[in-house]
Amino acid sequence: MDLDLKAKSVVVTGGGSNIGRAIVLAYAEEGANITIADIDAEQAGKVAELARKRGAADVQVVKTDVTNLEQVTAMFAAAKSKFGAVDVLVNNVGWDKLMYFTQTTPDLWQKIIQINYVGVLNCTKAALDVMIEQNSGAIVSISSDASRQGEPREAVYGGVKAAINSFMKTIAKENGRYGIRCNIVCPGVTVPENGDEVGGTSMWSNPDSMFTREQLDKVAKTLPLKKIGRPEDIAGAVVFLSSGAARYITGQVLSVSGGYSMIG
């Protein structure tokens, strides 16, 4: 099946590590032109080189803090300047620190909100400025199954991700008339295979601070598919939702979590 992504201009935020890295490489295999927007330019550069080997038409790295609208606007200008358009935005950047809510502080709340939500607002606004003018586009935002189920130690993060679900549905309704589709992918626990898949700014740079091996084994046993998610599991869903194969799908929330949440 032709996914109609060859030579399309794709922006992936946080494309240097874990899920973002896998998404970049999946688009590379489809022959896309890719802009990796990441605060860790060194790690993103490594992924760019690998993407070229995987078949990307072209790749550029633009160092970007998604919480800074000026940087985001400049990044989209660079994508449009180099590739002539922005056909796909993947809002992938995410960050959390696993703690019970009573252990958290307002400073931590603000960091989680800024990175996970304000970053999506900034990037979506800048993408729409381009996509409305060209009368086409697809936006896929990475949320979390914590937004659908509620999850201990992820109270603020899960709440913010639930906000993303609602926000993206609204954007889908407002902008469908311009040929713009917006969808959401909700991963469950998704763990990189090794340290080469993450940079120093990633929350997975110290995996033991997230989950112990024993905890991951326990999670896997509770899932219908009996295994923890890997970044490439998420990437396939993202690529599909942004492709021509999903041309009549918009405003949808898709869990990719081994069956953790089953919502009719």
pLDDT tens by residue, 132-165: 999 999 999 999 999 998 899 999 999 999 999 9
What is the average pLDDT across 82-92? 98
The model carries a pTM of: 0.94
The pair of structure tokens assigned to 208 is: 């033991």
Percent of the chain residues past pLDDT 70, beyond the cut = 97
Q: What is the C-alpha separation between 52 and 29, in angstroms, rounded?
A: 9
What is the average pLDDT across 11-25? 97
pLDDT at 207: 63
Is 178 a known active-site residue? no
Mean pLDDT check: name the lowest of 2-11, 185-194, 234-243.
Answer: 185-194
Q: What is the C-alpha separation between 151 and 157, in angstroms, rounded?
A: 9
pLDDT at 14: 97
Domain boundaries, the chain: 9-256
Catalytic member of 117, 157, 248, 260: 157
Judged against a pLDDT cut of 80, whether residue 195 lies above it is answered with no
The pair of structure tokens assigned to 2 is: 């032709």
**Backbone CA torsion sign across 24, 26, 28, 31:** negative
Judged against a pLDDT cut of 70, whether residue 41 lies above it is answered with yes
Determine the CATH number of domain 9-256.
3.40.50.720
Continuous H helices in 150-243? 155-175, 213-222, 231-242
